[in-house]
Amino acid sequence: MRLETLVITQDDLNDLIRLHGRHELMDLVIERLQEAFLLAHQEGTMTPARAGVRRCPGGTGVLEWMPHHDSGRCLTLKTVAYTPANPTSRSLPTILAALTRFDDTSGHLTAVCDGVLPTAIRTGAASAVASRLLARPDSGTVGLIGAGAQSVTQLHALARVFRLSQVLVHDSNPVHRASFAERTAFLGLNVRVAAPQEIEEAADIICTATSVPVDGGPVLAATHLTPHAHINAVGADLPGKTELPLDLLRSATVVPDHLEQARKEGECQRLSMAEIGPDLPSLLASPMRARALRSQRTVFDSTGYALEDHAVLDVLLELADKYDVGERVQLEHLPSDALNPYGA
């Protein structure tokens, strides 16, 4: 039997973006993510929390594995390496990742894809889904704490679901904050550097996407927030690593993406169960309940889980088929006699 694995490389992803369109791809991922969250809630699908090991000197990095099982169809597995020293020490992204897809019946590896760009896109798209649900529909000012790669896709996704008039950005790294406007120029938005207090006072929606170290937060004082501020907290992804003040979390409605995972390594790790609101899939299934929260402070605890990777890989595989992108290779060793590993 001849089995092939579709390999989607960096160049292939660039071709898909060129052929399909950057905005159109983001729109598609936003909608597919919302559909996936709703379907998971309706069917009671349980995606495991990620697991991993600490790595790098001092345990500052991690290598994690994130599985999602679509029973009877396939399984998506993402491996992701988080290395906060990469941008400054090696000129590499903080997150390096690979997406793999397996047939559920045979276990055959059907596809391998870069995970760096898909992770950035799906994380931005998840914030757009949450913000569209929880922020005021007339939100026009976005504040960004952290001006790295993830904030680019955070802003891109939000710009697809809100009519934005102003973007205020802050980063502790002066090079990152100075270059952010150029990196997001394709959005045609009014972007300028601002102090954290000005961001708090003006922003309807705030995204925190930082590489703050364990026990290094908060990155936002939250003393001048608007009464209706919605915050997408993206950077907490390790035990002990958080971005927001505890007082803010306790005074806001905190909506995790994945409760078990958020309690282990998200903003929710410092909260009791009674202090945590409904998860995002549950709220999407009860939109009237969500609308009642739009005049209050809300926090989306976005830890990023494997259902999101499964959904974005579905999109990329569909587009790869549509545009005939990617290379099919015989990766797995399949001898003529399955009982003889040395068979030709």
> What pLDDT score was predicted for residue 287?
92
| DSSP letter string, 67-78 | EEEETTTEEEEE
C-alpha to C-alpha distance for 304 and 258, rounded to whole angstroms: 8
C-alpha to C-alpha distance for 242 and 215, rounded to whole angstroms: 7
Contacts of 85-92 spanning 24+ positions with Cβ under 8 A? 85/56, 85/60, 85/61, 87/148
Supply φ then ψ for residue 102, to 5 degrees: -120, 140
pLDDT in tens, 79-113: 999 898 898 889 898 889 999 999 999 999 999 99
Give catalytic residues, as residue numbers. 237
> What global pTM score does this model have?
0.95
C-alpha to C-alpha distance for 288 and 282, rounded to whole angstroms: 12
> What pLDDT score was predicted for residue 19?
98
238 backbone φψ class: left, alpha, beta (φ>0; ψ -120 to 50): beta
- Give me the helices (H) in 162-273, please: 174-183, 196-202, 246-251, 259-265
Taking the chain (344 residues) in consecutive chunks of 10 residues, what is each chunk's mean pLDDT? 92 98 98 97 93 89 95 96 90 93 97 97 98 98 97 98 98 95 98 98 97 91 96 93 96 98 96 98 95 96 98 98 97 89 82
